[in-house]
Structure formats: C-alpha cells, structure tokens
Structure 1
Amino acid sequence: MKLLRRGGSDDSADHQVPATEDSPAATPDDSASAKATTGKGRPTPKRRDAENRRRGPVAPAPLTTKEARERRKAARKSQSKEERKAAAAQRRADASERRNRMLAGEEKYLLPRDRGPVRAYVRDIVDSRRNLVGLFMPLALVLIMSMFLGPVVQQYVTLAMFVMMFLMIIEGIYLGRMVNKKARERFPDSTAGGFGLGWYAFVRASQIKKLRAPLPRVGPGDAV
C-alpha cells in the first residue's frame, strides 16, 4: 500500500518499511558495509601476500663454501639420528646411480669433457684399437720396481722405457691426426677438433681399458 506524502507526491525511493522484531531496520552504515564486502566478507588478498604467508621467507643462497657447510651442519643438528642415517644412505644411493649412468654413457651424467657425439665417436675409435700407448701405466710400474734391482738391470729398463716412450709419442701423433680426420668426415658441421680432440684420444688410449670412463661400448677389432 502506497502512502501519500504532503504535496501529493508519490516517491517510492523515500518509502521506508518500519522495523519489526523479525526484520530490523537497515542503517546507512550497514548498507555501505554490505557493498564493501562480497561473498566471504573480507577483501581478497594479493597473490604475493598470500604466497608469502603460505611459503614463508626464502633464505638466500650461500655465498661461500664455509657458509654452505655451516648450513648443512645446522640442518643435521635439527635432524634425529635415524633421519641423518636415512639421508646419508639416500645420498650414497644417488651418487652410485649417477656414477653408474655416467659409466653407461648417458649424456646427462657425463662430464663436460665427455659430452657430445664427436667425443663419443672418438671414444669408440680408441676402444676399437689395440694401442701401444695403453702400455704406459704398466711400464711406469715396471720402472718403479726396477729401482729396487741392481744398477745393470736399471740401465736396461731405463733404455727400454726411453724407446717405448719414443714409440708412444709417435703413435699419439698418428692417433690424434686419425681421429681428427675421421671426426671431420663423420661430422662435417662440427667445430670440435684440433689438438684438444687429439689429446682427448691420447689420454683415453693411455688408460687401462677396464678403468676407462665412460666404459667402452665396442671391443678391439669391432667396426665403428
């Protein structure tokens, strides 16, 4: 039912419903508060503030080795004995897995000097040959043992060592040139080559085959 105001105007905007016990009258402050809050009744926090409250402050990275070591010590003190043993066992297992994958030749786990298809190809060339340079370490052991023998034996062993060293140098030069030539033929667009690649082949050839890392993928006489 509409009520007539003085002057005969009928303005519904000025109409107010009297308050009752079930529906109390709304005040201007209540209307402003209702407009300011929506849904959950509080302003939505910024994403940055929410993440900071959830994650907490992040410690800066250590600047020195000493600082990193102190942080590890502090972390170990906060752990129980069983937790430290479990963490140490996990580290050993991870290190063993990384080493096994490196020996298997997985590119992700190789050292920087061994990465790339060119280096893998050079390793296969060296492993498929019987190299005179591979006698370097056994001969060095023989030379050390000869120091406990008589002077005559030492003279003959030293002379033999000089001859073998001369032959190894010649073979090393030949091996370096050969691997560079084959690498350029197999990978014409690669920039790897020169003295560094030849030295890489020489060092691998001078190692005992069972101690080479990554492990050989081919045997002596196999085609590459």
Structure 2
Amino acid sequence: MVFKFFVLTIAIMALVTSKSYASDSIPLKDFCVAINDTNSHVFVNGRFCKNPEHVTADDFFTSGLNMPGNALNQFGVTVVAANAYTLPGINTLGISLARIDYPPYGLNAPHTNPRESEVLVILEGMLYVGFVTSTSAPNVKNRLFSKILHPGDVFVFPMGLIHFQLNAGKTKAIAFAAFSSQLPGLNIIPNALFGSHPSINDDILAKAFQVDKKVVDYIQSEFERDNF
C-alpha cells in the first residue's frame, strides 16, 4: 500500500515539473550534474557542472527516502531531501522531493519556501495542514485555507506563502513533498523572528506582536536554549 502511495507521489512530482519554470530558469542543455569542483569552467544556477563525459547513472540516483531523515525543528519533525545537494543530477531541472516524518502531535511550524510551490501527499497518519494568503491578496488578505489530510490525500501550498503541518493523530505520520525548485529554501517563521543571530531588538518584536517585552525576552531565551 505504501508503495502505491509512493508511486502517486512521483506522478504528482511529474505534474509539478510542468510548472517548475515559474521559479527556476529553463535549462538550455539536457542536464548539468552538480559538482563541488571550483576548477570547473561552467557555473549554472549556483552549482558547477560536471563534465558530461564523466556523468554516470549514479548522478541521477539517490536512496534513503524509505527511512526518516534528520531533525527539522524542535517539534520532532524530520526530513530527508532529494535536491540539488543530495541528488546532483537534479541540478537545473527545477524540481525536488522530500520525505517528512511527524511524531504524534509533531509540528512543522509555520514557514515559507521562498523559491517554490509545493505539493504534499500523505502516506500514513493524519495531518492538519494549511496556508495563509498574503496581505496583498484582494478581498482575501490573511485568509487561512486548511484541511485534515488522510493517507492518499494531496494538498498544494502556493509559492512563498506561510504554511504549516501538524500531526493531528496519536500515531506517526509520513508525507512526501514535491517542489517546483531544485533548492526550495526554508524560512521557519518563529525561528527567524525569535532565534535570529544577532537577536532582533525586543522593542521591535514586542510592538509587532503587541505583547510585553518580557514575553519576547522569554521566547527568545527558549530559542537560544534549543539552539535552533
């Protein structure tokens, strides 16, 4: 059953490809396998290109998405990604993929992926997901769109908008995300605001959130302690 859902994920990623060029530029060659070699003479979209004569099938292959990845945040969510850093052959193709694991009640905190739109498919468990529109959206500014997802369900997060996922069940949840960028980027909102280095002035945050500075100082200290 899990394999069927994984196949569904790959199919969804293929659909995303048709829209991927909205964020990453259109490649002008068949491929540009990324290589960490400063002596290379071709530099495309942030990565050097491997000599095509030295490219092998392994450059277009990665594994490990059958297992949980590394911790994403202090809420226990883990991610393993197939992007331009972990899968060199994906460089310049404008797509990437990630497996996301959520412990019971685990939260992928409100965040943005500045360079992509995202398609999320849930394989196991139950997720409460949503995104918030921008303040410039006519008649719907800061509107929340949210759903409860079950295995086989799919949800889309538009490019650049704040979104989140919460494991709403008592068991673990697993999802795969397809992105319309080879390197989507990640900006976790609470971490950016309260865990920046150096810290944002607490007067600014207190005024922005309409709370006492002591509240801001406490939250900042929590992020310093967690070292996120």
TM-score in terms of structure 1 length: 0.19
Tell me which protein shows more helix as a share of its residues: 1
- Give the structure-2-normalised TM-score: 0.18
Question: Which of structures 1 and 2 has the bigger CA Rg?
Answer: 1
